Amino acid sequence: MRLGVNIDHIATLREARRGKLPDPVAAAIAAEMAGADGIVCHLREDRRHIKDKDLFLLKEIVKTHLNLEMAATDEMVSLATEVVPDMVTLVPENREEVTTEGGLDVLSNTDWIEDVVRQLRSHNIVVSLFVDPAIEQIKAAAKLNADYVEIHTGLYANAGDLGDVMDELEKIRSIAMAAAKLGLGVSAGHGLDYHNVRDILDIEQIEELNIGHSIVAKAAMIGMERAVRELLQIIRR
C-alpha cells in the first residue's frame, strides 16, 4: 500500500504567524526522504493553509507523485491545468468547515463533475473523486470516467464504540471491492492515524492511503524534545 503524505497542516502552523516557517515544501522533501510514495496538498478557496506559491513550488520539487486536492470550481480547474499535478482529487468544500466533512455528492452534480473530470484528464491528470463509502457514489464515479475513488474514512475514524467501528470498516471493505470490480483505482483517507490504520491495511483493494493530520501531530511531538534541547544548548552555551 502506498502512502501519500498530506502536508497541509505544516502550512497551517506557518499561517498561525503568517510567516515563512515551517515550510510545507521542506516538509514534502523530508517526507520523500523518509520514503513517502507521494505528497498531497489541498488548495482551498480561502487559501487558509496551502497557497498558490506552495503548489507551484511543490510541482517543481516533488519527485514521487503530487496529488492536489481541490474543489471542482472554474478557478481550481484553471490552476490545476496550469500546474498539472500527477493527480487531482476532487473534494467538496464548505467555507465554514474545519476540515473536509464528507465525500463529494457525485450523484447530484453529475454533469458538472463529468465536465471537470474530462478537462483534467485531457491534460493527462489522473482524476480521483473523494466519496463516502456508498455504492451509488462509486457507481456514479465509474460512469463519469474517474480513474480513482478515494474512500472517505472519516466516519470509521470517528466511530465511538467498537460495533460502529466494525460496521464502518465493513462498509469501507465492501465499497473498496465494488470499486475495484468497476475498474476504479482505490485509495482511502481522512482521520487515519497510527492505530486505526491497522485494520484498513487488510483491505487488499486499497492501493493508497492519504494521511496528514496524525503525521504532523506526531512530528511535532517526537520533535519537541530535540527542539528544546537544541535551543537550551544555544542559551546555556
Neighbours of 219 (CB within 10 A): 16
- Annotation marks residue 75 as catalytic: no
* Sole binder of ligand PXP in the list 7, 43, 100, 142 (CB under 6 A): 100
- Annotation marks residue 213 as catalytic: no
- Name which of 86 and 236 has its Cβ closer to ligand PXP: 86
Which residues fall within 8 angstroms of residue 32, CB to CB, at 6 or more apart?
A: 39, 62, 63, 64
* Sole binder of ligand PXP in the list 22, 24, 38, 212 (CB under 6 A): 212
Residues 19-78 contacting ligand PXP, CB under 6 A: 42, 69
DSSP state for residue 125 in the 8-state scheme: -
- Annotation marks residue 190 as catalytic: yes
Residue 8 within binding range of ligand PXP, rule CB under 6 A: yes
The CB-of-101 to ligand PXP minimum distance in angstroms stands at 9
What interhelical angle do 162-181 and 135-143 show, nearest 10?
20
DSSP reduced 3-state for 207: coil
Tell the residue number behind the cell numbers 502536508, with chain if given. Answer: 7
The Cα–Cα gap between 99 and 95 comes to: 10
The Cα–Cα gap between 35 and 38 comes to: 9
Per CB under 6 A, which region of 11-19, 141-149, 186-194, 223-231 contacts ligand PXP?
186-194
Torsion of the alpha carbons at 191, 153, 141 and 97, rounded to the nearest 10:
-40
Per CB under 6 A, which region of 45-53, 58-66, 194-202, 207-215 contacts ligand PXP?
207-215
* Sole binder of ligand PXP in the list 130, 131, 148, 184 (CB under 6 A): 130
Using CB under 6 A as the criterion, which residues of the chain lie in contact with ligand PXP when the complex forms? 6, 8, 42, 69, 89, 91, 99-100, 130, 150, 189-192, 210-214
Which amino acids are annotated catalytic? 42, 69, 190
